[in-house]
Copies of this chain bind each other. A is one copy, B any other.
Amino acid sequence: MRKLKDSRRAEIVDAALLVAAEQGVKAVSMRAVAARIGLTPMALYGYFRNKDELLDAIIGRMLAEISRPAADLGWRETILHLAAEVRSAARRHPSVFPLLFTRPAVSPSAIMVIDLLFDALLRAGVEPAQVPRMERMISTFLIGYAISEVGGRFSEGSLDTRGRRAQLEPDLLPGHQLLAGHLDARVDWDAEYQADLDGLLDIVAGLAARDQRRRQPIGKP
């Protein structure tokens, strides 16, 4: 039932994703998307109530590419898998990814990721009451990092600016001179992501250990 309607919907979302990839999110207009598949702008309103709903569908489509981690992975490996998937989704859809921070995550695929994180945190031994907080922290980091990497906040321009400042105004702040050599260094994003993520997972592990000690009376191993 309504299979035709669904495939039309998918066709529209695909077209929108293409327009975004080729000309940026700014260029995703009802008119441009419709034109790409030979329709009139008004035809889209049979499938999406308005443009925001179309944008939400694009987000959902992008997150749908995230693969489920194998069920036999440990909690740490599960989170690492999801982190890698989120990051590669961002790299595949750099112009669309920033939309994630702009609207609440309600698509089925977003909820899948959240649920998998919940499950991993519970398996890590984090107290249930702390699990939503930890999930928020981890997903904030995952999305924030990916956006910064693809969206330009850490772009070459800004790094250059920082490095140049260190050379031009050496006594700006005590210690800034010390950093001069490191500010313009080529960044190894993979290594940095890994290191930061390890740090976060250490927080999780530490919290879990503390929670377990509390639940287990002293003396009982």
Q: Could you list which residues of chain A lie within 8 angstroms of chain B, going by C-beta atoms?
A: 98, 100-106, 111, 114-116, 118-119, 122-123, 128-129, 131-133, 136-137, 140-141, 143-145, 147-148, 151-155, 157-158, 161-162, 165, 172-176, 178-179, 181-183, 185, 187, 192, 195-196, 199-200, 202-203, 206-207
Q: Which residues of the other chain, B, contact A101 by a CB distance below 8 angstroms? A: 98, 101, 144, 147-148, 151, 153
Query: 14 A-B contacts, Cβ less than 8 Å apart?
Result: A98-B101, A98-B102, A102-B151, A104-B153, A111-B161, A118-B173, A119-B173, A119-B176, A128-B178, A128-B181, A129-B182, A140-B144, A140-B148, A202-B206
Please measure, in the bound complex, the distance between the C-alpha atom of A126 and the C-alpha atom of B111, giving whole angstroms: 37
**Does the CB pair A104–B176 fall under 8 Å?**
no
**Does the CB pair B203–A199 fall under 8 Å?**
yes
**Does the CB pair A165–B111 fall under 8 Å?**
yes
Beyond known contacts A105-B153, A143-B144: 6 more, CB 8 A cutoff: A101-B144, A101-B151, A102-B151, A104-B152, A122-B178, A202-B206
**Does the CB pair B137–A140 fall under 8 Å?**
no
